[in-house]
């Protein structure tokens, strides 16, 4: 009888990278843990939470044991878990530095939710700590791993639009719980700007591959609204890039859910609407010959970033969105707030080159 051809097999779990998920909020419960279940190169090996009963319930649901659940005061016990090679930090922004440093001291690689911290100075300390410990640090910029965003980037950088002139991006949603940690300055570092506005900034930097030279911004913090006692409701900011390219961005906690990105060139345009949602991304490329909507796989964005980081750990590669990428975003966010306070244009440190703060490009499904 003829032999059957060898079929590809999933990577054995002992070769997959085990993550400890640090924080069991909505994002971990609804996105990260399910994403790891379908991942090719990663899996959840442990959970860290302030609610042990909740952690044990998740453990039972996802084939873990009670011994795989840790409280924050037992975090260092993960050092002895050889199967936990990385931690994914999903905590309020002001806690990122502490847990990145604690993980680095244990020799664990770190995937950290965006924004990396609360300002550029704190973020740089985190990068330095991981470098000194010899572990990798990656910022969880999921939009830099999707087929849709890479198709937009390729259209922009491949010349389909001609010279790029203008960009605009809006990311807004309603924040309706005055007690949410995202509305507490000490925990979040700001309002919608570091939470959802950062997608506008980071994705524009990604599609252009360049860094802005200046920013100009204004913000609104309404009086009498309990939600915005500590943080802004809305921010409008402008970015100036080399060659006169200008980007306009709007972000708010007071608008109906909106998530768009538009790039306008001399010969065509790119439109993503929605641009930043977890599923259902849409891309339209117009090149003067008509509109084109590429058929691309709607992959799990969190699974893609976890797989990329796992591959970097296995192969000793610098992640595409390393800690340095997060620090650069913080430099610009800090300048946005400075401009809003002063009413003046704020000049940024000149950065020459393409993708200066990024590492090895990821493998993107559907991309040639």
Q: Which of 108, 114, 253, 337 is catalytic?
A: 114
3-class SS of residue 212: coil
- Say if residues 53 and 31 touch (Cβ distance below 8 Å): no
CB 189 within 8 A of CB 336: no
Q: Report yes or no: 210 and 223 within 8 Å, Cβ to Cβ.
A: no
Among this protein's residues, is 114 annotated catalytic?
yes
Q: Kindly report the CA angle at 96 between 187 and 81, in degrees rounded to 5?
A: 140
Please list the alpha-helical segments (H only) found in 114-212: 120-133, 147-157, 185-188, 192, 198-208
What is the spatial distance between Cα 85 and Cα 360, in angstroms, rounded to a whole number? 20
Is 199 a catalytic site residue?
yes
Tell me which H or E stretch contains 44.
strand 42-48
Which candidate in 43, 99, 148, 199 is catalytic?
A: 199
Measured in degrees and rounded to the nearest 5, phi and psi for residue 26 equal -60, -45
Residues 6+ apart with CB under 8 A from 329: 114, 115, 116, 139, 198, 201, 202, 205
Beta bridge partners of 47: 21, 69
- The closest of 241, 220, 243 to 340, measured between CA atoms, is 220
Length of the chain in terms of residues written: 368
Q: Are 351 and 311 in contact (CB under 8 A)?
A: no
Catalytic site residues?
114, 199
């Amino acid at each position: 009888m003829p032999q059957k051809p060898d079929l590809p097999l999933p990577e054995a779990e002992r070769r997959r990278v085990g993550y400890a998920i640090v924080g069991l909020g909505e994002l971990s419960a609804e996105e990260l843990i399910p994403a790891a279940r379908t991942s090719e190169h990663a899996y959840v090996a442990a959970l860290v939470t302030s609610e042990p009963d909740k952690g044990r319930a998740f453990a039972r649901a996802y084939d873990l044991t009670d011994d795989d659940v840790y409280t924050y005061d037992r975090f260092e016990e993960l050092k002895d878990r050889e199967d936990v090679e990385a931690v994914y930090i999903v905590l309020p922004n002001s806690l990122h530095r502490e847990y990145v440093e604690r993980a680095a001291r244990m020799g664990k690689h770190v995937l950290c939710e965006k924004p990396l911290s609360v300002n550029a100075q704190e973020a740089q300390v985190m990068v330095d700590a991981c470098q000194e410990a010899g572990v990798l640090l990656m910022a969880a910029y999921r939009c830099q791993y999707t087929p849709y965003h890479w198709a937009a980037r390729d259209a922009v950088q491949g010349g389909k639009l001609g010279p790029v002139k203008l960009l605009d991006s809006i990311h807004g949603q309603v924040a309706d719980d005055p007690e949410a940690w995202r509305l507490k300055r000490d925990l979040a570092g700001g309002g919608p700007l570091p939470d959802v506005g950062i997608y506008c900034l980071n994705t524009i930097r990604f599609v252009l591959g360049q860094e802005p030279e200046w920013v100009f911004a204004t913000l609104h913090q309404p009086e009498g609204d309990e939600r915005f006692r500590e943080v802004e409701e809305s921010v409008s900011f402008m970015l100036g890039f080399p060659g006169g390219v200008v980007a306009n961005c709007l972000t708010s906690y007071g608008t109906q859910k909106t998530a768009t990105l538009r790039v306008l060139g001399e010969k065509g345009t790119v439109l993503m609407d929605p641009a930043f949602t977890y599923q259902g991304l849409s891309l339209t490329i117009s090149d003067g010959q008509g509109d084109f909507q590429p058929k691309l796989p709607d992959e799990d964005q969190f699974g893609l970033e976890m797989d990329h980081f796992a591959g970097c750990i296995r192969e000793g590669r610098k992640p595409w969105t390393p800690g340095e990428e997060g620090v650069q975003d913080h430099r610009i966010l800090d300048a946005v707030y400075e401009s809003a306070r002063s009413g003046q244009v704020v000049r940024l440190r000149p950065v020459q080159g393409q993708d200066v703060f990024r590492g090895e490009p990821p493998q993107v499904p559907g991309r040639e």
